[in-house]
Amino acid sequence: MEIFGSTFDDSVFLEARDRVSVALSSYNAKLCKPEWFCESTALDTDDPLEKQKVFKFRGDLAVRQGNHQKALDAYSSCLEWVADNNLTIRRDVLEGMARCCTRLGQRERALDLADLLSKEASNTCHLISLLLLKVSIYQHFGDVRLKMTSLQQLCSMLPFNPWHWYSLGQTCLQLLESDRTTGLCSPQSFESVEEQREEQQEEASELDEDRIWLKACTCFIRTRLLLRILRQQQSSFVLQRTESTLQTTDEVLQRLNPKETTLQALTEVVSEDLIPEKMREDYQDGESLASVCLQSFQGALVEQDLNDWGARD
């Protein structure tokens, strides 16, 4: 009786066949001068790929030099030579054009380019890059609420990234400050109907302010929990940045001044998924968008009656 695995195939002991050596032809690397693509003769070619490279390199150099109009022109020319199946370069060029338009104050064109990128997104990496692009566009033009929406989606896509949570918390603070300033500057009416309408608007504004305040508390608590976990594996300037952000987070939470019961409840809720095994899984990277669903960021805590919470001191 033979034990399973105790026998071997005879082919294991056969001698290897004689291998025929193939002589490799000599290879001469192409040497290029610095900024060779800036020369007028660089476009003296019929190769579409070479023209694409020239315009792409010119655009990248112009961005580095701060000449965004020149970079936009170069990227636009490059896009004409990008092959239809070269989606990587196409997305890179479109994003470069959108960022140049942002710097040039062309808000609508920048958003149109972002929408074009969103239509061509096929995986989570594309979607994350798109959301980061939108955040930069909205931040440049001062669209705080739209920026907050994109950051919320980023936090949903990357729930263990503390920097997106921190940015979202800072955006909530900015929105709170702007809403308070707007409220102080609102005109008052002496007619009873207008006064009633203003009272209703003030109540709605206060409720909205409370929700944003609670969201800010949640974001900074989540940031603090994530950074405390990550700093165990950090050192050098990375650890210094983490420690500095933790100090800022603690100061902001003191300024927001939630009740101790609110702080404990929020900490308990936002730490439920902070399991080391789950945090190590990078299951979303490159995943098809067909299986991704960005749900509303509004959690159960925010949807509860804030009066029953008694969240603030």
Helix/strand/coil for 300: helix
- In tens digits, the chain (313 residues) has pLDDT values of 444 455 556 665 666 565 566 777 777 887 888 988 999 888 988 999 999 999 999 999 999 999 999 999 999 999 999 998 999 999 999 999 999 999 999 999 999 999 999 998 989 999 999 999 999 999 999 999 999 999 999 999 999 999 999 999 999 999 998 866 655 433 343 344 345 445 445 545 556 889 999 999 999 999 999 999 999 889 999 999 999 999 999 999 999 999 999 999 999 999 998 887 777 655 455 565 555 555 445 543 444 444 545 566 6
Selecting from 3.40.309.10, 1.10.10.10, 1.10.3470.10, 1.25.40.10, what CATH number does the domain 37-141 have? 1.25.40.10
Amino acid symbol at 239: L
Do residues 124 and 285 lie in contact, with contact meaning Cβ atoms separated by under 8 Å? Answer: yes
Do residues 243 and 231 lie in contact, with contact meaning Cβ atoms separated by under 8 Å? Answer: yes
pTM above 0.85, yes or no: no
Q: Sign of torsion, CA 113 94 139 151?
A: positive
Amino acid symbol at 37: F
Task: Give me 158's structure tokens.
Answer: 């990357």
Q: What angle do CA 58, 59, 63 make, to 5 degrees?
A: 120
Side-chain-side CA neighbours of 37 within 13 Å: the count stands at 16
Q: What is the DSSP letter of 234?
A: -
Q: What whole-number distance in Å separates Cα of residue 250 and Cα of residue 223?
A: 10
User: How far, in Å, are 11, 12, 14 from residue 6 at the CA level?
Assistant: 15, 14, 18
**Domain coordinates of the chain in residue numbers?**
37-141, 160-182+208-278
